[in-house]
Amino acid sequence: MRPIFTVVDSQSLVSTPQPYPVPTDELLLHGAGLCCIRQDRVLFEQLDVRVHAGELVQIAGKNGAGKSSLLRILAALVAPDDGVLYYGQHPLTSVSSDYAANLCYIGHQSGIHEQLTALENLSFWRSASGIAQADDFALLARLGLAGLEDIPCRMLSAGQQRRVSLARLWFTRRQLWILDEPFTALDQTAISMLQQHFAKHLQQGGAIVLTTHQSLSMAFARQTTLELAYRW
């Protein structure tokens, strides 16, 4: 199975959708009775999270409420202090390779190599999973990075670095996207373009779990908000 952080499929910006492992509207990911404790503080407990194919789930709450911690648990990067994760109808621990092969996680950090150029970062993500190179000049131009393809990412602005990081969403075929603050440092044009891409992914049967302090300007066909209360 492919590693969790690689991106797959597509030799161009336009790809023919292939069926995802879990059909639209069916339960894709279920967190039952989840508990997270950080530095002796219970962030949440007995939390139930359900993500269906074709659904966007927004995790909301104040800073320190445990949003990023929840995303890391759902991405199977850390284990919950209590509770069980299910992928489809199976405990995630029994199908962890299948889950990793169907997940794209982008954390709060950009996840790019700042000494590499935008093109080199995209080339690395493709090569890491054995995928042939594609027209990443066209992809980066579409994302507003024309003319910046060969500049080391350390010289790019925070918003430009974020665009490089999110570029993998345009050629991944992972059904479940878990995104921690994807709109950080982006301008309104980029946010609008990203949300339109979200809608396309959902229409094809994909699923998205995200956190954001900004309001979603688009209405998605199936959208759920899970509010985490800040606990002392």
Contact 220, 175 (CB under 8 A): no
The vertex-74 CA angle with 102 and 230, nearest 5°, equals 155
Contact 174, 22 (CB under 8 A): no
Given a cut of 80, whether residue 52 has pLDDT beyond it is yes
Domains and CATH numbers, the chain: 27-102+174-228 (3.40.50.300)
- Collapsing DSSP to helix, strand or coil, 177 comes out as strand
Contact 145, 163 (CB under 8 A): yes
How does pLDDT run across 171-200, given as a tens digit for each residue?
A: 888 999 999 999 999 999 999 999 999 999
How does pLDDT run across 92-139, given as a tens digit for each residue?
A: 999 999 999 899 999 988 889 999 999 999 999 887 766 677 889 999
DSSP 39-97: TTEEEEEEEEEEEETT-EEEEEE-TTSSHHHHHHHHTTSS--SEEEEEETTEEGGGSHH
Given a cut of 50, whether residue 7 has pLDDT beyond it is no
The overall average pLDDT reported for the chain is: 89
Rounded to two decimals, what is the model's pTM? 0.89
Contact 37, 81 (CB under 8 A): yes
Q: Note the pLDDT of residue 227.
A: 96
